Amino acid sequence: MTNKQVNLEISVKELKERLDKGEDLLLLDIREGHELDIAKLSHDKHIPMGELSARVGELEVFKNKDIVVMCRSGGRSMRCVQFLRSKGFDSAINLAGGILAWSDEIDNSIPKY
């Protein structure tokens, strides 16, 4: 079993390090559109949580990448990670603490809501 299969979460600091290194991963934001209007990171893909089961096929091309799933605080995204793993996306990982943790630990210019 690889680390990817074991680790369900990644910290915002770990994500920042990986992004700074230019690692090839997908950042999937599962928040609602109105939440993106308030605060967002540059993200590769936006699929609201309520649409994920119907749109999971859009992620097939990313199945061999780490998919970091994020929401406001990490709860919804963890449920999405569990769903994605049940569909064979073994490298889906949750952004622990979500965008709130990003604002607290990485970039306080990101608004909290």
Q: What is the average pLDDT across 8-34?
A: 95
Measuring CA to CA, which residue among 21, 7, 16 is closest to residue 102?
16
| CA-angle at 10, arms to 31 and 22, nearest 5° | 90
C-alpha to C-alpha distance for 13 and 96, rounded to whole angstroms: 10
pTM here is 0.91
Active site residues: 71
The pLDDT-based confidence of 2 (bands split at 50, 70, 90) is: very low
Mean of pLDDT over the chain: 92
* pLDDT exceeds 90 at position 1: no
Q: Are 59 and 67 in contact (CB under 8 A)?
A: yes
**Is it true that domain 3-105 has CATH number 3.40.250.10?**
yes
Cβ-based neighbours of 33, under 8 Å, separated by 6 or more: 46, 48
* Domain assignments of the chain as residue spans, ordered by start: 3-105
The pLDDT-based confidence of 43 (bands split at 50, 70, 90) is: low
